[in-house]
Structure 1
């Protein structure tokens, strides 16, 4: 048995760096980067972020794909991944905290009138403007799983009124939790900020279409740190032109990297960040190694995904 590390994209860990970190946690295990893959018939587990086309066919004895992150939509739907291959994901605390902090940063950017102060500075104008009170501000969180729940609690602890929305009922102390498709438009209409942290599933793809965007509070800010296919980007541009919502912060896009000719780059109501809201894996490296050991021993895996549901 061997674990093959193939990160799948640039500007993050290299295969060699990630394999070295995993090997440091478990020197006795056979962990290989793609640059030194050896006999691919020995590979039973693959650790990756983006599953490359054609790779599953090269691994005849593959049993498990370990996603180096939370979202598994592109892996479970990969056309060449055999149905018997299991999929696991990570639920690390460090990137969850980072995503919650990312959302908070843009909420505070609005609360503290940062854009207006920057504009005043460019005019050399001393223009005091009262910050908005958190107790008078409603923050909505779409998705109340590991990351969304952490985000909702962070906003709650900073005295914002927090509404949460999920597919099925959830309970979080101090958060007004709502669920089901019928509850979403009303929730959106109450929020000054909406933090979207939903997985990509058939039920969430293009969920934020023209009708749902029109349900938002005029002037509200939509922050997407989940999956890019949540939002109909053409409808978003049109909605922003009407002021409902008033602004969008997009850390993810339907196509990444965002194409150079996308209108979102230059739209005055859009802030683009290059999928950086959650970066570090932290202690989750231990879960990768632990799943390798469990696979070898035939034990239940950590954070296994239901491939039919997609999460």
Structure 2
């Protein structure tokens, strides 16, 4: 019985050390080093090559290195019957809350523009907004959405939230379903996307949705690049309907050098760093699920594949 780590473009060494420290004697392979595919029953991965896991006849569990699982579920050749798990971690949720708060504050205080003005040696002052007079709308009320909502309300922002099904969140006005989406959007001065990526949410950030936002609204996407229709965002910013956007995730990563987002004065770019998994923080739950698999016990943080999260 062996564990396979698959993380193209990422150094897996921290994961290997963390697992070895937590679970001495665990037999670990790192793709693409030579190994016996029949030995592997548990895989730990981020952005594996499509179709890879169909070559592992005894694979039982695929564990995501992060909170997202779309990179796994989007593989049409995923072995039937294999279980998928995600990471749930207090550090991740806290980091996401901090990041979104920083982007919201950056917007209402115009810090993005002052940074550009400094490089041009321009002295220009803007009338800023205050948290108490700003309504933030959060799309997605999972673990991360709840954490972001809590962080914003504690910092005096008015917060609304929308989810596919009815949910509750303290000090937050909650909307749900397609029938309540427009009402939610028209009251969102800043829109934060924290939705899981599913067939229903792909391309949800499009011109039709943006048109329902109030004029001058600002968009923050920290979910997945595939949520956003990029040319629709550009058009809505250039038309003046949207005041700008902060983007941490993209359809292609790294973002190509020729992409127009790089040069757009009203789009703020960060390289998918809003909330990054730290192996030492989550290795316990990975090792625990490995043991649960061996004992044929229920897994923690198991994903409902038909829902996509």
Q: TM-score, normalised by structure 2?
A: 0.93
Of residues 206, 213, 216, the one that matches 1:216 is 213
Moved more, 298-307 or 107-116: 107-116
Aligned to 1:278: 275
Any conservation in 1 of the 2:70–2:308 contact (CA below 8 Å)? yes
In the other structure, the counterpart of 2:159 is 162
Q: Any conservation in 2 of the 1:141–1:152 contact (CA below 8 Å)?
A: yes
Matching residue within 6, 15, 21 for 1:18 = 15
What's the TM-score once normalised by structure 1's chain length?
0.92
Shift of 1:58: 3.1
In the other structure, the counterpart of 1:94 is: 91
The match for 2:2 is: 2
Residue 258 (structure 1) shift: 2.4
Corresponding position of 1:206: 203
User: In the alignment, is the contact (CA less than 8 A) between 1:4 and 1:37 conserved in 2?
Assistant: no
CA contact (8 A) 2:51 2:78 kept: no
Find the counterpart in structure 2 of residue 51 from structure 1. 48
Deviates further, 73-82 or 99-108: 73-82
Unaligned runs of at least 5 residues, structure 1:
none
Q: Which residue of 1 aligns with 2:249?
A: 252
Give, in whole Å, the separation in 1 of the partners of 2:63 and 2:203.
27
Distance 1:123 1:17, change over 3 A: closer
> Do the aligned partners of residues 63 and 132 (structure 1) sit closer, same or farther apart at CA in structure 2, a change above 3 Å counting?
same
Match for 1:265 among 262, 273, 277? 262
Structure 1 SS opposite 2:44: strand
CA displacement 1:159-186 (0-9 Å, x = unmatched): 1000011011111110111111122222
How do residues 26-41 of structure 1 correspond to structure 2 at under 5 angstroms?
Answer: 26-34=23-31, 38-41=35-38
CA offsets, 1:173-232, max 9 Å, x none?
101111111222222222221111111111111112211111112222100000111111
Q: Is the 8 A contact 1:9 1:50 kept in 2?
A: no
8 A Cα contact 1:48 1:67, kept in partner: yes
Per-residue deviation, 1:125: 5.9
Count of equivalent residues = 308
Change (3 A) 1:119 1:84: closer
State which drifts further: 96-105 or 224-233. 96-105
Root-mean-square deviation over aligned CA pairs? 1.9
